[in-house]
Chains A and B, each alone.
Chain A
Amino acid sequence: MSAWTRKDLLGIQELSAEEITTILDAAAAFKQVGAREIKKVPSLRGKTLVNFFVEPSTRTRTSFELAAFRLSADVVNISATTSSLTKGETLKDTAKNLEALHADIIVLRHSSAGAAKFLAERLDASIINAGDGAHEHPTQALLDTFTIREKKGRIAGLHVAIIGDILFSRVARSNIHALLKLGARVTLVGPSTLVPRVFEQMGVQVTHRIDEILADVDVVNLLRIQHERQRKEYFPSLGEYTSLFGLTKERAARLKPDALIMHPGPINRGVEIDSEIADSARSVILDQVTNGLAVRMAVLYLCAGAQPAHV
């Protein structure tokens, strides 16, 4: 395991395979903490973490919050509606104010790509990207790869299909970077409007027919169809999406017996995945949630630990 030197986690793209492995190995140690009688360690005692979520999120924010509690940090939650951003304050000024309050770690969810990098370059605090626009969502990719490695024992050589709304998905981008760096083969699946061929430049395969790949893949990662955004221009109807790309019972039956079924949540039962399949033994959707906590503890620990001491 190589030493970790970054104060921030902004994306997977800039990480080396060794750095990703360092996080996954540390996450394994932090996962063990959850099995102890006292599920809390003092690593970040006296440190303050600010959950700064300009875009709404419940599960990611809660996961970071619980991770910070387990590391004994103090946590403040700020959402878009409670922050002065609605009063016209700029992102930089809000963040400078957080730093003036001695925030050591800022977890940022923002609708603009590059928002986390913007802050990281201007503040001494550790900045953790919890999703920036359609750019990256590094901790989601880390918990996905952690789950695959835990269940399959390896990443290299596996064939992973990512299915659904790839075009606007930061989860997909971060996953593609992580999986390719660790030596997996990645196939993107979805309608041509949501999975354009241009993604092939990242080093992945693209197909618009899910039935072609079912028998060959070791992992299917189903992304949520963000139907609340009314993407009528991208596919005609939810029913048609389900019939062409949904993981139905019939399709699930053609997967390898030991194939993993993953989903970052929240799932649309009956749209991208059949309800019974989501609850089946091959589904690791809830393992992903548990592992997310361990991965986020590891990320907070490593980034806070790599900060220079305040003198």
Chain B
Amino acid sequence: MPYPPSPTANLILDAAAIDRALRRIAHEIIERNPDLDKIVLAGIPSRGVQVAQKLAANIEQIEKKPVELGVIDVSMHRDDLRLRNKLSPIEVSQLPHDLAGRTIILVDDVLFSGRTTRAAMDAIASFGRPARIQLAALIDRGHRELPIRADYVGKNLPTSINQRVYVRFEKVDGVPDSVWMEKE
């Protein structure tokens, strides 16, 4: 994996900036959810899971109590099975057995069209009926195709529709945590 991911990519956030953004989101989640026992941070594979883990670690550090983590794979709930060039890997979803009264915070790395979020909400509905669903994204790059907005955003990044955004995490990519954007 090259670092940077492409020779024409600009660094948007480095590891320290990502940490700061996630620490701020952690505080916002704590502020809006006084009953932290009720929340589940559900990461959307692959890198949303990394963001969720980092958010959970931040919340635990601030509040000194553990936060429940989950994984919500959306591949089976997408509406574009044959429109994509290749099938992405499917991961095993993990959510608490009983969602009644819980607050699911969906966590993704980049919020773009909103279709992944829509699929994730459909997937959650098949597990049960949580009290509420919130959305956290490290990057909001705009260009929504559905009426969806994030409750927590690390950074708003104005992009053109074809501009590529890369998120890299040490744990899965083997390079320092970073966010990059292709030059126009």
- The answer for the CA separation of A9 and B122 in the assembled complex, in Å, is 29
Given contacts A25-B89, A29-B73, A305-B82, list 9 more A-B pairs with CB under 8 A: A3-B88, A22-B89, A26-B89, A37-B127, A38-B125, A42-B77, A42-B79, A298-B90, A302-B87
Task: Give the interface residue-count category, chain B.
Answer: 20 to 34
Interface residue ranges of B95-136 to A (CB < 8 Å): 122-123, 125-128
Chain A residue numbers with a CB within 8 Å of B127 are: 36-38
CB of B15 within 8 A of chain A?
no
- Which one of B76, B125, B126 contacts A29 once the chains associate, using CB atoms below 8 Å? B76
Residue on A with the closest CB to B127? A36
Some 27 contacts from A to B, beta carbons below 8 A apart, are A3-B88, A5-B86, A22-B89, A29-B75, A29-B90, A29-B93, A30-B76, A30-B90, A32-B93, A32-B94, A33-B126, A36-B126, A37-B126, A38-B125, A38-B127, A40-B126, A41-B77, A42-B76, A43-B75, A43-B76, A43-B77, A43-B78, A302-B87, A305-B81, A305-B82, A307-B82, A309-B82
B93–A304 CB distance below 8 A: no
- The answer for the CA separation of A5 and B85 in the assembled complex, in Å, is 10
- The answer for the CA separation of A57 and B75 in the assembled complex, in Å, is 31
A32–B87 CB distance below 8 A: no
B81–A304 CB distance below 8 A: yes
Footprint of B on A, CB under 8 Å? 1, 3-5, 22, 25-26, 28-30, 32-33, 36-44, 71, 298, 301-302, 304-310
Residue on A with the closest CB to B128? A37
A25–B90 CB distance below 8 A: yes
Chain B residue numbers with a CB within 8 Å of A25 are: 89-90
Residue on B with the closest CB to A29? B90
CB of B92 within 8 A of chain A?
yes
CB distance from B104 to the nearest CB of A (A): 14
B87–A29 CB distance below 8 A: no
Residue on A with the closest CB to B91? A29
B86–A28 CB distance below 8 A: no
Chain A residue numbers with a CB within 8 Å of B122 are: 42
- The answer for the CA separation of A43 and B86 in the assembled complex, in Å, is 15
- The answer for the CA separation of A152 and B75 in the assembled complex, in Å, is 27
